[in-house]
Amino acid sequence: MSISQALEVVIGLIFVFYVLGSIVSLITQWINEAFETRGKSLERHLMKIVGSKHVGDFVKLPQLQALRPIRYKNWFSVLTSATEPKMLEKIPASTLVESYFDFVGLTASKEFQADELKELISAFPESEGKQAMLKWVNQGVTNIEELRKRTTTYFGGVMEQASATFRANARSFVIILSILLTLVLGTDSIQLARTLWNNAGVRALAVAQAELVVRQDDAEARMDDLIQQLLDLNIVRIGWWQTELPPAGSTVGEWVWFSVLKVLGLGLTAAAISQGSSFWYDLLKKITTPTSSSSSSSSGGGSSSSSSSSSG
């Protein structure tokens, strides 16, 4: 078995996984932006701080309104350039603390008596944030700066939870879309590997496209470019009707073995795509770059030797 041939097959597989993973990433991004999933995750966690009844008024504070991202209004706004502010997606912990203190009227920079501070906090909107502050006051924290310090740590944790919630939701989208894309295309990793192994022309084209992607040094790509790369490669068949079935007259055992390999191949593809395009891009870069570097070094060394021999 040729090591270089096996490496080319691996590069070809990684390239296909990268392209399919990029398509899934782009679709996931569109879904997240269209449904504002990051903003909704943040809003659910802001409810812990100010309460569900007051979160709408809280996010209307000027310092928070300024953090709203600007995006296209809808799918057709790409043509009209119409934009609008979307839901808040991220708030620095320090800004969140200042906003909260302004919202509840706790802006004085002095030390309160415990009873006085408890009375003030009791007027806050009912929330986990209010209960946390009451607990700290009961523990003897009456200095505003110390209260601000503890609140910053607490709110920072809440923002981390909001980010983790969004990442979990996005990961679910990626897995579901990876399975759907695999089923729609019928892309079988095992059959794909066989095609790359047996067809030197396709293998060479896959490696060439992979090296081109790495030379461009850009893990992001447009949807139409990605689809064109797959069409040029001509090994990712769209539709189950292009599946290579066992020949006529095959035994039941052969059909069972074919089904097992098909399910395994599809499962491998879905699992690979769900790793994300950046994972495969980084791996592709690690594999192809040393090869290119060593080739350059060898050719460079050969040239030096030739030059030395000529001069000698």
Question: What is the C-alpha to C-alpha distance for residues 285 and 289, in angstroms, rounded to an integer?
Answer: 6
Rounded Cα gap, residues 112 and 134, in angstroms = 13
Is 158 or 249 the better-scoring residue by pLDDT? 158
* pLDDT per residue as tens digits for the range 19-44: 899 999 989 988 888 889 999 999 99
Cα separation, 88 vs 67, in Å, equals 7
CA 163 to CA 275: how far, in whole Å? 19
Can you read off the two tokens belonging to residue 226?
């990605």
Q: What tens digit of pLDDT does each residue of 174-220 get?
A: 999 999 999 888 888 998 898 889 888 888 888 888 888 888 766 55
SS3 71: strand
As a whole number, the mean pLDDT across the chain is 83
- On whether the pTM is more than 0.85, the answer is no
**Strand 83-85 vs strand 70-72: parallel, antiparallel, or unpaired?**
antiparallel
Give the tens place of pLDDT for each residue, 71-104.
Answer: 888 777 777 888 989 999 999 999 999 999 888 8
72 by DSSP, 3-state: which?
A: strand
Count of CB atoms within 10 A of residue 67's CB?
16
Specify the higher pLDDT residue, 236 or 305: 236
How confident is the model over 3-15, as pLDDT tens digits?
Answer: 788 999 999 999 9
- For 83, the enclosing helix (H) or strand (E) is strand 83-85
Range of lowest pLDDT (131-135, 136-140, 155-159, 293-297):
293-297
